Amino acid sequence: MVTISLIANCQDTIYFDKNLDSIDKHSASYFQIKRDDPSFPGRLIVETFYVNGSKKEIRYYTDITEKIQTGVSQKWHANGQIKSKINYKNGLLSDTLFTFWENGQLKRQDIYQNGKFVKGNCYNNSGKKIPHFDYEEMPKYPGGDNQLFMDVFSSITMPEIVKTKQLKIKVIARFAVDSDGYVKDIEVPEDTYPELKYVIIRALTSLKKWQPGLVDGEPVKVHYSVPFNFEAR
């Protein structure tokens, strides 16, 4: 089973590139500030800005570790036009979700209840109604999930240490598919045997290029977790 893992950072001010990877201040596309919400005890405000200082996004978290949002998050285009208004209740999409084109034209109006899509409409940048498409779309691996697991596990040669030590271990590795469709940010737990870590990294780095994930039709970076089971036979 492949599961999504969202990005979270715990610094007060950090700098990012276009994939929201931490980067040097002088090369950044965005920067982010986190602060307590004075009007809502226990809630954290996370604001992201373009490098020119204009606001890019604001989100409200009641539990940032578990990525639980509560309140109306908003995004802005680089030209200052509102990009989206999204309501969350206890981490779930709720009520009406609005997105907008850079010219201010409504792009999407979707209704959610308890995180589930109910109905909605999408429009082009001239205001003409177009076929509806999902607000969020996961990355797609060539050939689908079955091919993904075939490619991962067919590239693994069981390390000799598994047999010699009669190991039975599950290792949860993490990686990201960036907005260009490439695998990056591979993470394997620190206490993993080096021999196992090597074959996991080799398997993940050998993956083909993906079709990137989309949010409102725009490519985004998505994090995954995948289990590797090693057992002596």
pLDDT per residue as tens digits for the range 92-116: 999 999 999 999 999 999 999 999 9
Would you report the helix, strand and coil content of the chain in percent, each value rounded to 5? 15, 45, 40
Tokens 């002596």 belong to residue: 232
Percentage, residues of the chain above pLDDT 90: 66
Nearest Cα to Cα of residue 2 among 214, 187, 224, 175: 224
CA dist 12 and 26 (Å) reads 18
pLDDT digits 0-9 by tens, 145-162: 999 989 988 888 888 999
What six digits make up the tokens of 74?
A: 């908003």
> Residue type for 77, please?
H
Q: Does position 144 have pLDDT exceeding 60, yes or no?
A: yes
% of the chain at pLDDT higher than 70: 94
Kindly list the structural domains of the chain, giving each domain's residue range(s) and its CATH number in brackets, ordered by start: 9-132 (3.90.930.1), 144-231 (3.30.1150)
Average pLDDT, the chain: 88
Contacts of 200 (CB under 8 A, 6+ apart): 156, 171, 173, 186, 188, 192, 228
Q: What is the pLDDT of residues 169-190, one digit of tens each?
A: 999 999 999 999 999 999 999 9
